[in-house]
C-alpha cells in the first residue's frame, strides 16, 4: 500500500510516496537563518560605524501622508534621542547638494560623472554641511548633522543607494537598490509578524478585478489573496514592510509552487504600481504614516520574479481550473537579517465532494508507562469516499498528549497513519480528547478519547542465601544506569548509588542487625525498616522500582 505524505510547511519535496507502515506524519516548523550577504560592505553613517542603527522606514515601504501613495525609496535611519552627526559611508566626490531648509536639505556623494553611482543623505541641516559640490570626501568623513525633525522624534537620515541623473553635477537621482543590504553589519533580532488579515482569519480573499470580498470556505472564479505582514529593524515602535515575500498553495492533487511575490531590492518600482502589491481599498486597507502602519500585500499579484510591475495586477488564483475541495495557502516573509516566518490558512474551492472518514478506534488507552517517557500510537485515518478527504485540523486539549500532524489529505479508499503520543509528566491517570475537523459534511468534527497512566514498572525481587550473605536479585530494566537502595522507617530515604549491577548482598548479623555488604559508603541500615530497589537512568531519574521488603521478609539469618 502506498499513500501520499504531505509536509505542510516545507516548501520543497512536499510530496513523496512511501510504503512503510511506521511512517511518521511530521509538522515542519521553519526556523531558518539565511542572512542576505552583504554587498560591497559599507560602514554605517552614524558613529559607531560598525554597529547597526534602527530603521524607521524601509525600502519599498508603502507611504501616504495625505498626498497620495508611493514607495519609500530609501531607508530612514532614525535616532529618537535627537539629531546626530552623519559620516560618509564611502570615498567619493560631492556630486549634488540640495539646500531646502530646515528639513529637506541633502547631499549626494559618488562617482563624479553623469550616471555615476553613489549615496544620498537626505535631511542634513545645511548649516552644518562640511563640503561643497566637487569636494573630495573619504569614508567616515563627517559631512553634517541631521535636521531636528519636528514630528514623532523621527530625527533621521533618509539614506539611498543612487545613480546620478541629469549629467554632472547630478541634478537628481534614481534609487537603485535597498541600502540595508550594503550596511555592515546588519543583524536583525526580530522576525516578521503575520496578523489575521480579515475577520480573524489569516488571509483575505477578494475577487480579481472587482475587489469584492469572498468567503474563503466557498471560493470560485479568479481570486486574489491578501496577507497582513510587518517587520521591524532595530526600532520596535516603527513597523515596516518585510524585505521579501513568497507564497504557494497546496491541495490534494493540485498546487501552485513557491513563488517570489516581491523582493524589495533593486530599482524601486514605478510609483503607480504601489497598489499592485499593497492593497489600498477598504477593507484590508494598507496605511503608512507616522500614526498608522498596516501593510496588506496582494500575494497573487505576481509573475514570480519578485519585481512589482503593472502587468502583475491581472494575476490571480484561477479557482475554476482547480478541483473542488480544500487548499492550503502559505505565505513566507523574510527580513534582511535572515529571519524567516511562514504562516498558512485553509480555504476551499466551492463544489460538492464525496468523502467519508472512518477511524478504527474512537478511543485509545496508552496503558502504563514511566513518567517522562513517551508512548506512540499509530492512528489510521481512512477515507471511504471517492474524493480526497481533508483533515483540516488535529488538536489535543492537553500538553501530556500530542499529535504528529496538523492537517493532511487522505486519498479515496486509502488511509494515513498519524502518530499520537502520550508523555505522562508524573504518576497518575491522564486523559484528553483528540479533535479532528474534516470536510466530511456529516462528520465535520470527530473526537478520539485518549487515556494513559504514569507509573513506574515493577521489578521482580528475589533473595537467596549464598556465601554467608543474603543475595538480592531483580530483573534489570532497559536503559538503567544504576540502582539505589531506598530504606527508611517511612520512605523515602536513599542510599548512595550502587554500581550498575542488579545484585547486592545483605547480611543479617546474629545480633539481628542488618549489614550491607559489597558496597561502599553505605551507612548502617536500620532495624524494622522498609527497603526498596529503585532503577535510575543516566540522569538519575527513576525508571522502575521493586516491591518493598523488610528485614523480616528475609528467609534466613546468616550465622
Ligand atoms: Ca526584522
Ligand atoms: Ca513581477
Ligand atoms: Ca490580481
Ligand atoms: Ca461521513
pLDDT digits 0-9 by tens, 169-219: 999 999 999 999 999 999 999 999 999 999 999 999 999 988 899 999 999
The answer to whether residue 552 scores a pLDDT higher than 70 is no
How many angstroms separate the first and last alpha carbons of the chain?
68
Question: Half-sphere exposure of 275 toward its Cβ, with a 13 Å CA cutoff?
Answer: 12
Burial class (CB in 10 A: 0-12, 13-18, 19+), 470: buried
Measured distance CA(5)–CA(437) in Å, rounded = 19
pLDDT band at 464 (very low <50, low <70, confident <90, very high): low
Tell how far the Cα of 395 is from the centroid of ligand 4, in angstroms.
19
Tell me the percentage of the chain whose pLDDT exceeds 90.
Answer: 73
Tell how far the Cα of 233 is from the centroid of ligand 2, in angstroms.
25
Tell how far the Cα of 367 is from the centroid of ligand 4, in angstroms.
30
For residue 459, list its beta bridge partners.
546
Q: pLDDT, tens digit, for every residue of 327-384?
A: 999 999 999 999 999 999 999 999 999 999 999 999 999 999 988 889 999 999 999 9
Tell how far the Cα of 201 is from the centroid of ligand 4, in angstroms.
26
Q: pLDDT, tens digit, for every residue of 116-149?
A: 999 999 999 999 999 999 999 999 999 999 999 9
pLDDT band at 87 (very low <50, low <70, confident <90, very high): very high
Strand extents, DSSP E, 220-339: 222-230, 244-251, 255-263, 287-288, 293-294, 296-298, 317-318, 325-334
276 three-state secondary structure: helix
> How high is the pLDDT of residue 220?
98
Measured distance CA(307)–CA(294) in Å, rounded = 21
> How high is the pLDDT of residue 480?
78
Q: Which tops the pLDDT comparison, 40 or 88? A: 88
Number of the ligand closest to the Cα of 389: 4
Tell how far the Cα of 355 is from the centroid of ligand 4, in angstroms.
7
pLDDT band at 533 (very low <50, low <70, confident <90, very high): confident
Burial class (CB in 10 A: 0-12, 13-18, 19+), 464: exposed
For residue 294, list its beta bridge partners.
287
Nearest to 330 by CA among 248, 405, 260, 263: 248
Domains of the chain: 3-27+353-454 (2.60.40.10), 75-177 (2.70.70.10), 193-349 (2.70.50), 458-553 (2.60.40.10)
Region of residue 221 (left: phi > 0; alpha: psi -120 to 50; beta: else): left
C-alpha 232, offset from chain centre: 16
Q: Which residues, in sequence order, are CB contacts of 491 under 8 Å at separation 6+?
A: 530, 532, 548
Q: pLDDT, tens digit, for every residue of 303-340?
A: 999 999 999 999 999 999 999 999 999 999 999 999 99
Tell how far the Cα of 308 is from the centroid of ligand 2, in angstroms.
5
The answer to whether residue 16 scores a pLDDT higher than 50 is no
pTM of the full predicted structure? Answer: 0.82
Find cell 500575494 and name the residue.
299
Q: For residue 284, count other CB atoms closer than 10 A to its CB.
A: 21
pLDDT band at 491 (very low <50, low <70, confident <90, very high): very low
Nearest to 31 by CA among 257, 185, 181, 191: 191
Q: Which range has highest mean pLDDT (292-301, 475-484, 498-507)?
A: 292-301
Q: pLDDT, tens digit, for every residue of 389-430?
A: 999 999 999 999 999 999 999 999 999 999 999 999 999 999
Tell how far the Cα of 330 is from the centroid of ligand 3, in angstroms.
17
pLDDT band at 19 (very low <50, low <70, confident <90, very high): very low
Measured distance CA(23)–CA(419) in Å, rounded = 9
Q: For residue 488, count other CB atoms closer than 10 A to its CB.
A: 14
Number of the ligand closest to the Cα of 303: 2
Number of the ligand closest to the Cα of 210: 3
Measured distance CA(333)–CA(339) in Å, rounded = 8
Measured distance CA(54)–CA(104) in Å, rounded = 21
Task: Quote the Cα angle for 448-347-398, to 5°.
Answer: 30
* Strand bridging mode 363-369 / 445-454: parallel
**Which strands sit side by side in the sheet containing 340-349, from one edge to the other?**
255-263, 244-251, 325-334, 340-349
Cell of 508: 543479617
Number of the ligand closest to the Cα of 356: 4
Amino acid at each position: 500500500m502506498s499513500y501520499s505524505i504531505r509536509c505542510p510547511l516545507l516548501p520543497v519535496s512536499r510530496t513523496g510516496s512511501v510504503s512503510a507502515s511506521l511512517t511518521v506524519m511530521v509538522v515542519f516548523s521553519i526556523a531558518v537563518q539565511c542572512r542576505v550577504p552583504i554587498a560591497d560592505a559599507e560602514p554605517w553613517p552614524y558613529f559607531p560605524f560598525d554597529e547597526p542603527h534602527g530603521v524607521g522606514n524601509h525600502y519599498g515601504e508603502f507611504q501616504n501622508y495625505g498626498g497620495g501613495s508611493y514607495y519609500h525609496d530609501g531607508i530612514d535611519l532614525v535616532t529618537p534621542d535627537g539629531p546626530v552627526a552623519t559620516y560618509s559611508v564611502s570615498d567619493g566626490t560631492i556630486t549634488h547638494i540640495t539646500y531646502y531648509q530646515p528639513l529637506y536639505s541633502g547631499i549626494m556623494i559618488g562617482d563624479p560623472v553623469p550616471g555615476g553611482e553613489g549615496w544620498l543623505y537626505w535631511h542634513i541641516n545645511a548649516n552644518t554641511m562640511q563640503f561643497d559640490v566637487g569636494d573630495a570626501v573619504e569614508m567616515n568623513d563627517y559631512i553634517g548633522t541631521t535636521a531636528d525633525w519636528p514630528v514623532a522624534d523621527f530625527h533621521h537620515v533618509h539614506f539611498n543607494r543612487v545613480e546620478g541623473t541629469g549629467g554632472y553635477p547630478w541634478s537628481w537621482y534614481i534609487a537603485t537598490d535597498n541600502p540595508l543590504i550594503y550596511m555592515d553589519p546588519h543583524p536583525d533580532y526580530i522576525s516578521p509578524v503575520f496578523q489575521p488579515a480579515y475577520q480573524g482569519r489569516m488571509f483575505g480573499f477578494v475577487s480579481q478585478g472587482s475587489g469584492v470580498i469572498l468567503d474563503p470556505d466557498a471560493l470560485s472564479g479568479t481570486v486574489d489573496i491578501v496577507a497582513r505582514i510587518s517587520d521591524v529593524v532595530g526600532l520596535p515602535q516603527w513597523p515596516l514592510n518585510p524585505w521579501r515575500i513568497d507564497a504557494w498553495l497546496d491541495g490534494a492533487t493540485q498546487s501552485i509552487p513557491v513563488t517570489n511575490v516581491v523582493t524589495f531590492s533593486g530599482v524601486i518600482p514605478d510609483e503607480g504600481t504601489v497598489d499592485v502589491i499593497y492593497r489600498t481599498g477598504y477593507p484590508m486597507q494598507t496605511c503608512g504614516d507616522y500614526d498608522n502602519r498596516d501593510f496588506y500585500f496582494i500575494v497573487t499579484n505576481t509573475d514570480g520574479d519578485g519585481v512589482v510591475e503593472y502587468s502583475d495586477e491581472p494575476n490571480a488564483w484561477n479557482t475554476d481550473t482547480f478541483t473542488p475541495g480544500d487548499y492550503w495557502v502559505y505565505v513566507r516573509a523574510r527580513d534582511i537579517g535572515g529571519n524567516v516566518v511562514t504562516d498558512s490558512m485553509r480555504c476551499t474551492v466551492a463544489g460538492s465532494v464525496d468523502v467519508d472518514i472512518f477511524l478504527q478506534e474512537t478511543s485509545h488507552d496508552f496503558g502504563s508507562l514511566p513518567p517522562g517517557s513517551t508512548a506512540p500510537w499509530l492512528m489510521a485515518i481512512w477515507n471511504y469516499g471517492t474524493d480526497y478527504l481533508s483533515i483540516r485540523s488535529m488538536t489535543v486539549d492537553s500538553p501530556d498528549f500530542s499529535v504528529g500532524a496538523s492537517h493532511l489529505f487522505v486519498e479515496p479508499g486509502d488511509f494515513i497513519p498519524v502518530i499520537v503520543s502520550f508523555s505522562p509528566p508524573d504518576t497518575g491517570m491522564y486523559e484528553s480528547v483528540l479533535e479532528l475537523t474534516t470536510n466530511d459534511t456529516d462528520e465535520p468534527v470527530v473526537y478520539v478519547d485518549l487515556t494513559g497512566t504514569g507509573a513506574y514498572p515493577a521489578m521482580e525481587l528475589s533473595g537467596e542465601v549464598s556465601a554467608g550473605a543474603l543475595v538480592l536479585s531483580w530483573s534489570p530494566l532497559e536503559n538503567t544506569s544504576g540502582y539505589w537502595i531506598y530504606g527508611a522507617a517511612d520512605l523515602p530515604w536513599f542510599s548512595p548509588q550502587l554500581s550498575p549491577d542488579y545484585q547486592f548482598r545483605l547480611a543479617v548479623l546474629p545480633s539481628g542487625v542488618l549489614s550491607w555488604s559489597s558496597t561502599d559508603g553505605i551507612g548502617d541500615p536500620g532495624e524494622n525498616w522498609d527497603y526498596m530497589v529503585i532503577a535510575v537512568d543516566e540522569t538519575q531519574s527513576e525508571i522502575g522500582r521493586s516491591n518493598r521488603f523488610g528485614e523480616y521478609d528475609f528467609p534466613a539469618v546468616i550465622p
